[in-house]
A and B are shown apart, each in its own frame.
Chain A
């Protein structure tokens, strides 16, 4: 399957700071990437769909001004958690591929964010 990387794998930050998470598709071009959040013992919840060269599409209830997404190239999407608070602590996972109904979506290794 396709390889998707994320960086950093974990991050600890103070409340009120911003954190940037990178997602890269290493062996294919991804015009669309997806950002998920997963709380302990829960399912993956789609936060937003990141589209190369255009604005991201956010799911209902996700604040676009708090979770900034930039998809500047066909292999890189970034998620910035602005003014992070302890309730933003979670496992953030990006997915790439699966743009059409016949494509498979592959996931990065995830980034564990802890906000103190």
Chain B
């Protein structure tokens, strides 16, 4: 199968750090992508991990452990504008399979 599991909702306050976990099934796995989607908008690419380890892009970091079939997205110094849905997506050779998304609510 190609299912991914991630929490449905996470809440945090401004300035905090949040980690969104994602587990996936390994058949045909090439890497793990993360996308942000604001309500009514299109998904925006955040990060991709093809190899084990941490990828850092500004306030956002993503981590992958192939041996554990696990990854996470780390959001630091949270801002109100970070309130959105975050999707992990399993990359096959050419296709993406999306998780159900995690809704992040950032409060003042």
Cβ of B83 within 8 Å of any chain A Cβ, yes or no, is no
Cβ contact within 8 Å between A109 and B41: yes
Chain B's nearest CB lies how many Å from the CB of A6? Answer: 8
Contact of A110 among B35, B42, B99 (CB under 8 A): B42
Is B97 within 8 A of A46, CB to CB?
A: yes
- DSSP class of A's interface residues: helix, strand, loop or mixed? loop
Q: Say if the beta carbon of A98 comes within 8 Å of chain B.
A: yes
Q: Mark B55-80, 1 if CB is under 8 A from A, else 0.
A: 00000000000000000000000000
Contact A32/B50 with A43-B101, A109-B41, A110-B42 known, Cβ cut-off 8 Å: no
Bound-complex Cα distance A92 to B72 (A): 27
Interface residue total, chain B, C-beta cutoff 8 A? 24
- B16, CB-defined interface residue at 8 Å: no
In the assembled complex, the Cα of A112 lies from the Cα of B33 at a distance in Å of 24
> Is A106 a contact partner of B45 (Cβ separation < 8 A)?
yes
Q: Are A105 and B93 in contact (CB under 8 A)?
A: no
List residues of chain A with CB within 8 A of the CB of B94. Answer: 32, 49, 98-101
Given contacts A99-B94, A100-B94, A105-B96, contact A44 B45 (CB under 8 A): no
What residues of A have a CB within 8 angstroms of the CB of B99 in the complex?
43
A94→B88 CA distance, assembly (Å): 17
Contacts of B40 in A (CB 8 A): 112
Query: Cα distance A109–B44 when bound, in Å?
Result: 9
The docked-state distance in angstroms from the alpha carbon of A45 to that of B96 is: 9
B51 to chain A, nearest CB (A): 11
B93 and A108: CB pair below 8 A? Answer: no
C-alpha gap A52/B41 in the complex (Å): 26
A to B CB contacts below 8 Å, 8 in the list: A42-B100, A43-B98, A43-B101, A100-B94, A101-B91, A102-B50, A104-B48, A107-B45
